[in-house]
Amino acid sequence: MVEIKYDVVEKIAVLSESSKGWTKELNLISWNDRDPKYDIREWSPDHAKMGKGITLSEEEVAVLKKALETRDV
């Protein structure tokens, strides 16, 4: 299995925490030495394990932000 390299460039927000201590976070992450992207996923308390998540470019985050601003969230 190929090892995935990642670097958490910036921790932006903890969105929620489970009863087992895992946190759903929004971070800026560089995957495999590429340019950082916004990333939402769950992390174990020590950040040694991660769940499945979604990675968004700057452009995608801008579209998402605009879509959320037009709603009463």
Residue 23 lies in a domain: yes
In this predicted model, what pLDDT tens digit does every residue of 1-13 receive, in sequence order? 888 899 999 999 9
Q: What pTM does this model have?
A: 0.88
Can you give the pLDDT at residue 3?
A: 85
Structural domain range at position 65: 6-69
Q: What is the CATH number of the domain that holds 41?
A: 2.30.31.70
Residues 17-73: pLDDT tens digits?
Answer: 999 999 999 999 999 999 999 999 999 999 999 999 999 999 999 999 999 999 876
Any domain includes 10: yes
Which pairs with CB-CB distance under 8 Å and at least 24 residues apart come from 1-7? 4/31, 4/32, 5/31, 5/32, 5/33, 6/30, 6/31, 6/32
Per-residue pLDDT at 1: 80
